[in-house]
Amino acid sequence: MPKPHILVAGGGVIGLLCAYELACAGRTVTVFDKGEAGREASWAAGGILSPLHPWRYPAPVTWLAQAGMRDYAALCKVLHAQSGIDPEWIPSGLLRLGEDEADEALAFGARFGIPVEATTTGRHRHLVPGVADGPALWLPEVAQVRSPRLLQALKGTLAAQGVAVHAHAQVERLLWRGNRVAGLVVNGEEVAAETVIVTAGPWSQAFLADYGLSLPVHPVRGQMIRIGSVPGLLKTMILQGSHYLIPRRDGSVVAGSTLEETGFDKAVTEEARAQLHAFACGLVPALAAFPVTHQWAGLRPSSPEGIPFIGEHPELNRLFVNTGHFRNGIVLGPGSARLMADLVLGRSPFLDPAPYGLERGGRDTRSASGVLY
Ligand SMILES: Cc1cc2nc3c(=O)[nH]c(=O)nc-3n(C[C@H](O)[C@H](O)[C@H](O)COP(=O)(O)OP(=O)(O)OC[C@H]3O[C@@H](n4cnc5c(N)ncnc54)[C@H](O)[C@@H]3O)c2cc1C
């Protein structure tokens, strides 16, 4: 008998990684995206494989981050081999400027087995030429990926696995029988399935509100710029406050990011461009000689404390949700997808799912369509 079909609503990094995990487990999966899959926040991301200032986050974020930090190198190798596209996983390390929070950072490193060293920028001049002297924290094992390449590699791998990823496929509503999901309505057509996973990033909240879930997930805009510099100018990622620099393999340097409450407005602004450029050139003066070649923005799916919602609807069976990864969806992606697959397939979960439960969000008792749950 063929295995029942699983539908994924939303083809960002979370939806694509869920599809990948489930396809690896032998399940038939179809992904729908209202635009091009992987062109929203996931595409915009810097691709730093660690939360910024990781000691500030609650343990449930760190547990998922640890899974990502551990698994990305091997995952990127597989995706590269399957798709022919290199996601450019690079263990470039992260230099965090400033001595404040050193105690918290060192205690965090010791607790979670993540190397953190109190140091000075002077000791890292070979990695960051021209940087002013001062105290710093060095996280040598923090790696990066190039997010647009990661997404392309994931899509190529899914195609090789026989997973259909449909673009311009708007998921309009759920189908259900009794208290059980029966499929989706996509672009006006019914698609039957026994399981649905909602991975619609900041759009998840509005979709799920119709089915009695009110998750506190909303969009937070982030803007980035790319400076067309040359290989070798900067060799490590640098973090100061909420801004950072990421050196890519081709020598370009990405500077990010802003945190803005602008609803679903994804426009870029001159102000952010100037602010990010001034930050980059202030830290690494040699960057002033190179042009800004790109500017873009994405909408992060925020959540309280950055802890994603991963679980099954409390009353509508086989409706699963995986969203709210806020600033860390790339690094949290592999762990979140594995936990989701564990729950969908009834496997023993690799992490206790309780901290990610949907109940944290509160529930409406009446859906927008008037159906009571
Ligand atoms: C500027 C910036 C920098 C970042 N840097 C990092 C970083 O360095 N490291 C890191 O780990 N994270 C980073 N992030 C965070 C990360 O990008 C997000 O947490 C992550 O991409 C969220 O993935 P997602 O799949 O949930 O959402 P999305 O990428 O938004 O994907 C959701 C998808 O669902 C689709 N969709 C929505 N509604 C529907 C519907 N009704 N029907 C069909 N499809 C639908 C959308 O079109 C979209 O493609 C950054 C984010 C930004 C904006």
Residue 124 binned pLDDT confidence (cut-offs 50, 70, 90): confident
Please tell me the predicted confidence (pLDDT) of residue 373: 23
Tens-place pLDDT, residues 332-364: 999 999 999 999 999 999 999 999 999 886 444
Mutate to test the pocket of ligand 1, among 225, 327, 340, 356 (most ligand atoms within 8 A of CB): 327
User: Please, where in the chain does CATH 3.30.9.10 lie?
Assistant: 92-142+219-301
CATH code of domain 6-46+149-217+304-361: 3.50.50.60
Report DSSP letters for 7-18, one per residue.
EEE--SHHHHHH
- Measured by CA distance, the residue closest to atom 44 of ligand 1 is 33
> What one-letter code names the amino acid at 155?
K
Sign of CA dihedral 203, 206, 211, 214: positive
Is the CB of residue 15 below 6 angstroms from any atom belonging to ligand 1? Answer: yes
φ, ψ of residue 359 to 5 degrees: the values are -60, -25
**E-strand spans in 279-318?**
292-301, 309-312
pLDDT above 90 covers a percentage of the chain that reads 90
User: Looking at the domain covering 92-142+219-301, what would its CATH class be?
Assistant: alpha beta
Please tell me the distance from the alpha carbon of residue 203 to that of residue 222, in angstroms, as a whole number. 16
Tens-place pLDDT, residues 226-274: 999 999 999 999 999 989 999 999 999 999 999 999 999 999 999 999 9
Is the CB of residue 300 below 6 angstroms from any atom belonging to ligand 1? Answer: yes
Is the CB of residue 12 below 6 angstroms from any atom belonging to ligand 1? Answer: yes
Cis peptide before 242 (omega within 30 of 0): no
Please tell me the predicted confidence (pLDDT) of residue 206: 95
What does the block give as tokens for 279?
Answer: 């930050």
| Cα 264 to middle of ligand 1, angstroms | 12
| Cα 308 to middle of ligand 1, angstroms | 12
| Cα 268 to middle of ligand 1, angstroms | 17
Residue 2 binned pLDDT confidence (cut-offs 50, 70, 90): low
Tens-place pLDDT, residues 20-63: 999 999 999 999 999 999 999 999 999 999 999 999 999 999 99
User: Please, where in the chain does CATH 3.50.50.60 lie?
Assistant: 6-46+149-217+304-361
Tens-place pLDDT, residues 187-216: 999 999 999 999 999 999 999 999 999 999
Please tell me the predicted confidence (pLDDT) of residue 3: 57
| Cα 42 to middle of ligand 1, angstroms | 4
Is the CB of residue 222 below 6 angstroms from any atom belonging to ligand 1? Answer: yes
Across the range 144-168, mean pLDDT stands at 98
